[in-house]
């Protein structure tokens, strides 16, 4: 993802996270950490054959721990494997950053996303009460140890 992608990404962001969409400023700030010698973020976009952005995802890597900052796929592309491809990209990035583990937060009511994470080996490790505002929705914290192993397993179909 580059700065010129932020406009179309924001359109998707508002549609997919209507209650707690990220601001333009937050995407700019995240991308600022994705370049240069001390880069500790990686953001990717998925484009359709016409060049339209239909998905995006980002990872932060700090002190050997990866954090899935965001992952989203345009609704008309759900269940085509795009979410899995984006997550694979993030876990490959985590491996490149030498992360020993990857963490994420997901709304407790977002079972669709949780299933995706479980397929990759993420396990629930805790709950953050009222993490998502407004709405006071709890976050399930999930953790994956050994992201490299998870990517190998998915790639080889085991």
Residues at the interface with ligand COA (CB under 6 A): 16, 71-73, 78-84, 106, 110, 112-113, 115-116
* Residue 36 beta carbon to ligand COA: minimum distance, rounded to whole angstroms: 27
Show contacts of 116-119: CB within 8 Å, 24+ apart: 116/83, 116/84, 116/87, 117/87, 117/142, 117/144, 119/84, 119/154
Comparing CB distances to ligand COA, the nearer of 18 and 36 is: 18
Query: Within a 10 A sphere around the Cβ of 53, how many other Cβ atoms?
Result: 17
Query: For every residue of 84-133, which 3-state class applies, written as one string?
Result: HHHHHHHHHHHHHCCCCEEEEEEECCCHHHHHHHHHCCCEEEEEEEEEEC
Comparing CB distances to ligand COA, the nearer of 34 and 84 is: 84
Sign, Cα dihedral of 15, 10, 121, 65: negative
Sign, Cα dihedral of 117, 150, 122, 145: negative
* Residue 117 beta carbon to ligand COA: minimum distance, rounded to whole angstroms: 8
Comparing CB distances to ligand COA, the nearer of 90 and 99 is: 90
* Residue 38 beta carbon to ligand COA: minimum distance, rounded to whole angstroms: 26
Comparing CB distances to ligand COA, the nearer of 21 and 35 is: 21
* Residue 37 beta carbon to ligand COA: minimum distance, rounded to whole angstroms: 30
* Residue 98 beta carbon to ligand COA: minimum distance, rounded to whole angstroms: 24
Comparing CB distances to ligand COA, the nearer of 61 and 104 is: 104
């Amino acid at each position: 993802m580059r700065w010129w992608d932020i406009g179309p990404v924001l359109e998707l962001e508002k549609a997919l996270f209507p209650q707690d969409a990220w601001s333009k400023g937050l995407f700019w700030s995240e991308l600022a950490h994705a370049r240069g010698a001390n880069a500790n973020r990686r953001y990717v976009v998925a484009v359709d054959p016409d060049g339209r952005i239909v998905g995006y995802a980002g990872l932060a890597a700090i002190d050997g721990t990866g954090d899935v900052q965001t992952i989203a796929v345009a609704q008309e592309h759900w269940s085509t494997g795009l979410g899995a491809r984006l997550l694979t990209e993030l876990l490959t990035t985590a491996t490149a950053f030498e992360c020993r583990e990857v963490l994420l937060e997901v709304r407790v009511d977002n079972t669709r996303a949780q299933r995706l994470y479980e397929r990759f080996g993420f396990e629930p490790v805790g709950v953050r009460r009222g993490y998502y505002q407004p709405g006071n929705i709890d976050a399930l914290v999930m953790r994956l140890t050994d992201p490299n192993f998870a990517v190998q397993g998915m790639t080889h179909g085991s």
